[in-house]
Copies of this chain bind each other. A is one copy, B any other.
């Protein structure tokens, strides 16, 4: 086999630079073809068959295999995703995307949450995926800072409206998609993220493809191809942060994943080792590749249980301060006029990232520990409404934020805060936060998730529908038809 002597080829390519690219491309094409034949014939022999091992797992894993805590976390992931997606559904970003894509959408197969437009499954998944990330308030796999639900839930909710999908199959696909994207993320994080990739979009497309492929009933080889076509469509650069393009990324990951799975379902081929091969995804897109993160403990260790939810609609560095403020307010029925001053011992990073003393609008409010503590004391919350232009201009809040006194204190890490409120009557109130609510150590309670949902959906969904939608999410495992979740989330 003369053309497997890669060293000679590369030497020759170096000798004739004008042809180097063509020569190398040609050699790669032939090698890929040969490898593909070999892998297709051989059983799995080495831990290098990463794509195939993952595909086999996704294809064979059943709902009944899922431990109870994994199922529970999947349900919470779903509830949180529906809430944030509804919350973003009438943002300008979504109005723009719907208006741009409407004339090109296929049949009205799937819902766009709480809007009247219906799009084909890929365009609907795109829109819902964008919507879910608009407030940067969605779920987070803290090990990789992937936002898992955006790409995956957006894809499979749309598919559930195209074909019958039971609630159990839906939850199984959601969790398998989450496993797929977070494990692939683990394999390349942090180097991949440090290089500039928005990992939610680059790893998320694998999650969407796996979950969509699961619902389509792909066989192992088709799932290998679906993952390969997903590998060919990474989405998102960190440079886009701060623009609509950031929310674009999980949405496009969702639609790209469906696109990959649909093609694979008809035997549109890819190569067999697209994740792990020499010219494959991980080597091309990252300087770190730890494939054991993908293949070890499949079906025994679940990344899906490590999902977390933001209780507050701002950067995580502010969460301990907001948590402390809300606790002290609620426990003591505080009002702003009682407060003389608020001393907070903080990590230096709090001021570096969120040191804006006089934020001018809602977005700047997210970068102001002064505003965050003041609004939390006044309103007892830290949701999207508390980071609106209205909230930032509120006279009570602007008066109170001048009384917030951060003190950089050694020994306080970014997860912690130490807050002392001095009241005008001379009393002092104190609260130390070791881990804020929403962390893995102090996860949001189901009740807190419901409050977040209601806050996001309030003013969009009618009150009774909020309750019904949450109940459908909690009850997803018993639904005969997962599309009921979409149906309740559109205007009648």
Contact = CB atoms under 8 A, between A and B. Distances in A.
Nearest to A247: B268
A30 B367 contact: yes
Contacts of A351: 2
Contact of A414 (B23, B33, B229, B237): B23
Contacts of A189: 21
A44 interface: no
A280 B240 CA distance: 8
B280 A242 contact: no
Contact of A104 (B93, B240, B262, B349): B262
Interface string A33-45: 1111000000000
Contacts of A33: 241-243, 363
Interface in A91-137: 93, 96-97, 99-101, 103-107, 109, 120-122, 136
A360 B232 CA distance: 30
Nearest to A363: B33
Contacts of A452: none
Given A267-B96, A351-B2, A317 B19 contact: yes
A28 interface: yes
A245 interface: yes
Interface string A82-97: 0000000000010011
A263 B93 CA distance: 10
Interface in A164-200: 189-190, 193-198
Contacts of A19: 316-317, 414-415
Interface string A210-244: 00000000000000010011011111111111111
A8 B279 contact: no
Interface string A350-383: 0111111000000100010000000000000000
Interface string A266-293: 1111110110011111011000000000
Tier of interface size on chain A: 35 or more
A36 B248 CA distance: 17
Question: How many copies of the polypeptide does the oligomer hold?
Answer: 2
A413 interface: yes
Nearest to A34: B242
A27 interface: yes
Contacts of A356: 2
Nearest to A241: B29
Contacts of A231: 237, 239
> Chain A contact residues: over half helix, strand or loop, or mixed?
helix
B352 A8 contact: yes
Q: Among A12, A240, A268, A271, find the residue whose CB has the most chain B CB atoms closer than 10 A.
A: A240
A97 B284 contact: no
Contacts of A234: 234
Contact of A100 (B243, B265, B348, B354): B265
B3 A355 contact: yes
A196 B29 contact: no
Contact of A353 (B21, B26, B232): B26
Given A33-B363, A109-B104, A240 B228 contact: yes
B228 A243 contact: yes
A20 interface: yes
Nearest to A354: B3
Interface stretch (A138-146, A417-425, A443-451, A455-463): A138-146
A21 B193 contact: yes
Contact of A284 (B31, B93, B195, B246): B195
A201 interface: yes
Contact of A367 (B3, B8, B198): B3
Contact of A270 (B36, B145, B244, B271): B244
Contacts of A35: 242
Given A25-B241, A97-B268, A104-B107, 14 more contacts: A3-B353, A8-B348, A21-B145, A22-B317, A28-B239, A104-B121, A195-B283, A195-B284, A231-B237, A232-B236, A232-B252, A245-B274, A248-B263, A248-B270
Shortest beta-carbon contacts, A-B, top 4: A33-B242, A196-B284, A32-B242, A2-B355
9 contacts: A18-B415, A23-B414, A26-B315, A103-B106, A104-B121, A195-B284, A225-B245, A239-B271, A243-B270
